Amino acid sequence: MAANKPSVHDAFLAVPDTQVGQIVDGELYVQPRPRVAHARVTSRVGAELGPPFDRGRGGGPGGWILLDEPELHLGSDILVPDLAGWRRERMPEVPDAAYTTLAPDWVCEVLSPSTAKLDRGKKLSAYAREGVPFVWLIDPDAQTLEVLVLQAFEATQRYVVESVHAEQAIVHARPFEVFALELGILWER
Protein backbone atom coordinates (compact mmCIF):
# COMPACT_ATOMS: atom_id res chain seq x y z
CA MET A 1 0.00 0.00 0.00
CA ALA A 2 1.44 3.35 -1.03
CA ALA A 3 1.72 5.86 1.79
CA ASN A 4 0.05 9.23 1.32
CA LYS A 5 -1.23 8.41 -2.16
CA PRO A 6 -3.66 11.20 -3.08
CA SER A 7 -7.26 10.19 -3.64
CA VAL A 8 -9.03 10.74 -6.94
CA HIS A 9 -11.05 13.47 -5.21
CA ASP A 10 -7.87 15.18 -3.93
CA ALA A 11 -6.43 15.06 -7.46
CA PHE A 12 -9.70 16.56 -8.78
CA LEU A 13 -9.42 19.44 -6.30
CA ALA A 14 -5.86 20.11 -7.53
CA VAL A 15 -6.89 20.55 -11.20
CA PRO A 16 -5.90 24.09 -12.25
CA ASP A 17 -8.56 26.57 -13.41
CA THR A 18 -7.09 26.45 -16.91
CA GLN A 19 -8.38 22.87 -17.25
CA VAL A 20 -11.65 21.01 -16.72
CA GLY A 21 -11.58 18.11 -14.30
CA GLN A 22 -14.25 15.43 -14.02
CA ILE A 23 -14.52 12.19 -12.08
CA VAL A 24 -16.37 9.57 -14.09
CA ASP A 25 -16.70 5.97 -13.00
CA GLY A 26 -13.95 6.43 -10.41
CA GLU A 27 -11.40 7.90 -12.83
CA LEU A 28 -10.15 11.47 -13.06
CA TYR A 29 -10.35 13.04 -16.53
CA VAL A 30 -8.58 16.34 -17.13
CA GLN A 31 -8.92 18.29 -20.35
CA PRO A 32 -7.87 21.76 -21.42
CA ARG A 33 -10.57 24.39 -21.50
CA PRO A 34 -12.58 24.13 -24.74
CA ARG A 35 -11.18 25.83 -27.80
CA VAL A 36 -12.81 29.12 -28.76
CA ALA A 37 -14.84 27.63 -31.65
CA HIS A 38 -16.26 25.03 -29.24
CA ALA A 39 -17.12 27.70 -26.67
CA ARG A 40 -18.81 29.79 -29.36
CA VAL A 41 -21.15 26.90 -30.29
CA THR A 42 -21.97 26.38 -26.62
CA SER A 43 -22.63 30.09 -26.16
CA ARG A 44 -24.85 30.20 -29.24
CA VAL A 45 -26.99 27.28 -27.99
CA GLY A 46 -27.44 29.05 -24.66
CA ALA A 47 -28.17 32.38 -26.35
CA GLU A 48 -30.83 30.78 -28.56
CA LEU A 49 -32.55 28.76 -25.83
CA GLY A 50 -32.11 31.16 -22.91
CA PRO A 51 -34.54 33.93 -23.82
CA PRO A 52 -37.58 31.75 -24.59
CA PHE A 53 -37.01 29.00 -22.00
CA ASP A 54 -34.95 30.38 -19.11
CA ARG A 55 -36.39 33.88 -19.25
CA GLY A 56 -39.76 33.35 -20.99
CA ARG A 57 -39.02 36.18 -23.45
CA GLY A 58 -40.37 36.61 -26.96
CA GLY A 59 -43.47 34.58 -26.26
CA GLY A 60 -41.42 31.63 -25.02
CA PRO A 61 -42.81 29.28 -22.42
CA GLY A 62 -40.15 29.86 -19.73
CA GLY A 63 -40.07 27.26 -16.99
CA TRP A 64 -36.37 26.32 -17.20
CA ILE A 65 -33.07 27.12 -15.52
CA LEU A 66 -30.22 26.82 -18.04
CA LEU A 67 -26.59 26.85 -16.92
CA ASP A 68 -23.24 26.86 -18.74
CA GLU A 69 -20.73 24.28 -17.48
CA PRO A 70 -22.45 23.45 -14.19
CA GLU A 71 -20.59 21.11 -11.87
CA LEU A 72 -22.80 18.10 -11.19
CA HIS A 73 -22.12 15.78 -8.25
CA LEU A 74 -24.12 12.71 -9.23
CA GLY A 75 -23.43 9.67 -7.10
CA SER A 76 -19.65 9.27 -7.02
CA ASP A 77 -19.27 11.12 -10.34
CA ILE A 78 -18.40 14.78 -10.81
CA LEU A 79 -19.47 15.85 -14.28
CA VAL A 80 -19.24 19.14 -16.14
CA PRO A 81 -21.51 19.22 -19.21
CA ASP A 82 -21.25 22.15 -21.61
CA LEU A 83 -24.87 23.12 -20.87
CA ALA A 84 -27.58 21.72 -18.64
CA GLY A 85 -31.18 22.60 -17.88
CA TRP A 86 -33.63 21.92 -15.10
CA ARG A 87 -37.38 22.39 -15.19
CA ARG A 88 -38.22 25.03 -12.60
CA GLU A 89 -40.68 22.73 -10.83
CA ARG A 90 -37.67 20.52 -9.97
CA MET A 91 -35.21 23.36 -9.31
CA PRO A 92 -37.21 26.45 -8.31
CA GLU A 93 -34.03 28.47 -7.57
CA VAL A 94 -30.42 28.33 -8.62
CA PRO A 95 -28.47 26.87 -5.68
CA ASP A 96 -26.01 29.16 -3.94
CA ALA A 97 -23.25 26.56 -4.13
CA ALA A 98 -20.31 25.57 -6.34
CA TYR A 99 -22.19 22.49 -7.58
CA THR A 100 -25.54 20.75 -7.57
CA THR A 101 -26.52 17.19 -6.74
CA LEU A 102 -29.81 17.41 -8.63
CA ALA A 103 -29.62 15.65 -12.01
CA PRO A 104 -30.64 17.90 -14.90
CA ASP A 105 -33.65 17.36 -17.17
CA TRP A 106 -31.51 18.11 -20.23
CA VAL A 107 -27.78 18.05 -20.97
CA CYS A 108 -25.92 19.36 -24.00
CA GLU A 109 -22.41 18.16 -24.77
CA VAL A 110 -20.50 19.94 -27.53
CA LEU A 111 -18.13 17.31 -28.86
CA SER A 112 -14.49 17.84 -29.64
CA PRO A 113 -11.87 15.30 -30.71
CA SER A 114 -10.48 15.22 -27.15
CA THR A 115 -13.86 14.79 -25.38
CA ALA A 116 -16.11 12.83 -27.76
CA LYS A 117 -15.19 9.37 -26.46
CA LEU A 118 -15.85 10.34 -22.83
CA ASP A 119 -19.02 12.30 -23.70
CA ARG A 120 -20.48 9.43 -25.75
CA GLY A 121 -19.34 6.72 -23.35
CA LYS A 122 -18.96 6.95 -19.60
CA LYS A 123 -20.64 10.35 -19.19
CA LEU A 124 -23.67 9.20 -21.19
CA SER A 125 -23.89 6.11 -18.97
CA ALA A 126 -23.78 8.30 -15.86
CA TYR A 127 -26.53 10.56 -17.22
CA ALA A 128 -28.67 7.48 -17.94
CA ARG A 129 -28.06 6.09 -14.46
CA GLU A 130 -29.20 9.41 -12.98
CA GLY A 131 -32.31 9.55 -15.17
CA VAL A 132 -31.49 12.61 -17.33
CA PRO A 133 -34.33 12.38 -19.89
CA PHE A 134 -32.72 14.27 -22.80
CA VAL A 135 -29.15 14.64 -24.05
CA TRP A 136 -28.04 16.67 -27.05
CA LEU A 137 -24.70 15.85 -28.66
CA ILE A 138 -23.50 18.65 -30.92
CA ASP A 139 -20.55 18.06 -33.22
CA PRO A 140 -19.29 21.41 -34.58
CA ASP A 141 -16.87 19.74 -37.00
CA ALA A 142 -19.57 17.55 -38.59
CA GLN A 143 -22.20 20.29 -38.06
CA THR A 144 -24.67 17.88 -36.46
CA LEU A 145 -27.07 17.74 -33.55
CA GLU A 146 -28.06 14.33 -32.18
CA VAL A 147 -31.08 14.24 -29.89
CA LEU A 148 -30.96 11.33 -27.45
CA VAL A 149 -33.94 10.26 -25.33
CA LEU A 150 -33.72 8.03 -22.27
CA GLN A 151 -35.80 4.86 -22.53
CA ALA A 152 -36.29 1.88 -20.25
CA PHE A 153 -35.13 -1.53 -21.52
CA GLU A 154 -35.89 -4.40 -19.15
CA ALA A 155 -34.01 -3.60 -15.91
CA THR A 156 -31.90 -0.77 -17.34
CA GLN A 157 -32.23 2.63 -18.97
CA ARG A 158 -30.29 3.76 -22.00
CA TYR A 159 -30.38 6.41 -24.65
CA VAL A 160 -31.83 5.98 -28.10
CA VAL A 161 -31.19 8.40 -30.93
CA GLU A 162 -34.48 10.16 -31.55
CA SER A 163 -33.18 12.32 -34.39
CA VAL A 164 -30.08 13.64 -36.10
CA HIS A 165 -30.02 17.07 -37.72
CA ALA A 166 -27.29 18.60 -39.84
CA GLU A 167 -25.88 21.75 -41.36
CA GLN A 168 -28.53 24.44 -41.94
CA ALA A 169 -31.59 22.51 -40.69
CA ILE A 170 -34.29 24.19 -38.65
CA VAL A 171 -34.88 21.91 -35.70
CA HIS A 172 -37.72 21.33 -33.23
CA ALA A 173 -35.80 19.12 -30.78
CA ARG A 174 -37.10 17.80 -27.49
CA PRO A 175 -37.38 19.02 -24.83
CA PHE A 176 -37.47 22.42 -26.55
CA GLU A 177 -39.59 21.33 -29.51
CA VAL A 178 -41.83 24.43 -29.44
CA PHE A 179 -38.79 26.46 -30.55
CA ALA A 180 -37.31 26.51 -34.06
CA LEU A 181 -33.55 26.24 -33.57
CA GLU A 182 -31.63 27.29 -36.68
CA LEU A 183 -28.55 25.09 -36.68
CA GLY A 184 -26.75 27.34 -39.16
CA ILE A 185 -26.44 29.95 -36.41
CA LEU A 186 -24.34 27.53 -34.38
CA TRP A 187 -21.73 27.08 -37.12
CA GLU A 188 -21.24 30.78 -38.00
CA ARG A 189 -17.74 31.97 -37.22
The predicted pLDDT at position 100 comes to 97
Asked if residue 2 is part of any domain, the answer here is: no
**Residue 9, in any domain of the structure:** no
CATH of residue 165's domain is 3.90.1570.10
Give residue-wise pLDDT tens across range 19-57. 898 989 989 889 888 888 889 999 999 999 998 998 888
Q: Is residue 67 part of a domain?
A: yes
Judge whether 26 lies within some domain. no
Mean of the per-residue pLDDT values of the chain: 91
Q: Is residue 7 part of a domain?
A: no
Domain count, the chain: 1
> Does the residue 48 lie in any domain?
yes
pLDDT in the model for residue 156 = 86
Kindly report the pTM of this predicted structure.
Answer: 0.91
In a domain, 13, yes or no: no
18 within some domain: no
The parent domain of residue 169 ranges over 34-187
Are 135 and 160 in contact by the 8 Å Cβ rule? The answer is no
Structure confidence at residue 1 (pLDDT): 45
Structure confidence at residue 3 (pLDDT): 52
Cβ-proximal residues to 148 (8 Å cutoff; 6+ apart), any chain: 124, 134, 135, 136, 137, 159, 160, 161, 162
pLDDT by residue for the chain (189 residues), tens digit each? 445 556 888 889 889 888 898 989 989 889 888 888 889 999 999 999 998 998 888 777 889 999 999 999 999 999 999 999 999 999 998 999 999 999 999 999 999 998 999 999 999 999 999 999 999 999 999 999 999 999 988 888 899 999 999 999 999 999 999 999 999 999 988
H helix or E strand, kind and range, residue 42:
helix 36-49
Distance CA 172, CA 162 (A): 12
